[in-house]
Amino acid sequence: MNQSNTNAVHARLQVTRPEFSLDVDLQLPGRGISALFGVSGSGKSSCLRAMAGLDQVAKGYLNVNGEIWRDDSRGVNVPTHRRALGYVFQEANLFAHLDVRRNLDYGQRRVPRTDRKVSLEHAIELLGIASLLPRRPETLSGGERQRVAIARALATSPRLLLMDEPLAALDYQRKAEILPYLRRLHDELDIPIIYVSHSAEEVAQLADHLVVLEKGRVVVSGPLTETLARLDLPMHLGEDTGVVLEGRVAERDAEWGLARIALPAGDLWVRDSGEALGLQVRVRILARDISLSLAAHSDSSILNILPAMVEQIVGEAHPAQVLVRLNTGGVPLVARVTRRSVATLRLQPGLKVWAQIKAVALVG
């Protein structure tokens, strides 16, 4: 295969159908999780299938960390079976007549021994499925089946892992069961993962890079923290508008069941979920859970009060509401308030305010 010196996934893809067209140009990180986000029909799955070579592409270029899988200008189009990729679908699609161990063996046998980069034992350990090895797929829960499917994809030692809404068919409990394993993939695998989802919660917990698609086109693409704080995205996120911040568990208060998270902008108290001291965590703060004041109040039930400066005010679809982008210690926040409050507080860019954030609204 042709090689190029890059450390990224670069995809220029055009797919044309009578009822839909996809036209994207993506530069994604060569490691970590890039999320393709959007409503149904926005082109997320079509983009993934085009990367895999499963759908006919009118025009294309695909470079995965220096390995060229498609380049029309040079007549290169590596067939799907020769692309070193793993693909996880909404349904696990395990072989019903094989137990878990033999399902995994099937995945590994697709790869010559000399090309195996991920051991079967490592995949089993990453997904926590050692106890499932002798069982048949029909005896597994939905979450267990998906963990096996992901392990099978990893057993092929992919240079690119594609995940098409892997949690969409699971209920809330099963999603909660599998999310920690997906976070382990993020932390421990040195390969790019492209994750399709229409769930803002999944994206907030997993992604490093966010791509928002609409009608087959890229609306915005960039690092998760910066992209979520943009005020031209609310039409796509609605009630899920908010930011994701990364911090460290600095203290656990057993008496009140709270944990203190140290962030560059200051400390936040959240519900204690049992994370170890010193652990790096993510905190998701929704715009609807931030209120603003001109002074710091101590006579309030709100535990988290951070100094901030107004950077931008943008109206929303409903005339009663606006979004306010704040800068707090160099970290962006987004608050949803009424236009009446903007007038009452005389909010404007450059004004110093206090951002009041409910502890119960924070999700580590």
- And the tokens for 270? 């959240």
Same domain membership, residue 338 and residue 219 = no
Which of 214, 237, 260 is a domain's end point? 237
Q: Is residue 44 part of a domain?
A: yes
Q: Is residue 92 part of a domain?
A: yes
Same domain membership, residue 35 and residue 162 = yes
With contact defined as beta carbons under 8 Å apart, do 315 and 295 qualify?
no
Round to whole Å and give the CA distance between 315 and 322: 4
> What's the CATH number where 294 sits?
2.40.50.100
Q: In the chain, what is the straight-line distance between the N-terminal and C-terminal CA atoms, in Å?
A: 42
Residue segments in the chain with a per-residue pLDDT below the cut of 70: 1-6, 234-236, 359-364
Round to whole Å and give the CA distance between 357 and 219: 29
Q: Is residue 3 part of a domain?
A: no
Same domain membership, residue 171 and residue 261 = no
Same domain membership, residue 336 and residue 269 = yes
Q: What is the pLDDT of residue 116?
A: 74
Domain that holds residue 128: 8-237
Round to whole Å and give the CA distance between 239 and 259: 26
Instruction: Please name the residues in contact with 93: beta carbons below 8 A apart, sequence gap of 6 or more.
Output: 149
Residue 274 CA, chain-centre distance (Å), reads 23
Neighbouring CB atoms inside 10 A of 262's CB total 14
Query: Does the pTM of the predicted model rise above 0.85?
Result: yes
Round to whole Å and give the CA distance between 147 and 41: 26
Q: What is the pLDDT of residue 234?
A: 59
Q: What is the pLDDT of residue 5?
A: 47
Which of 237, 263, 283 is a domain's end point? 237
With contact defined as beta carbons under 8 Å apart, do 90 and 45 qualify?
no
Which of 208, 237, 266 is a domain's end point? 237
Q: What is the pLDDT of residue 361?
A: 60
Rg (CA), the chain: 23
Same domain membership, residue 336 and residue 250 = yes
What is the count of structural domains for the chain? 2
Same domain membership, residue 212 and residue 254 = no
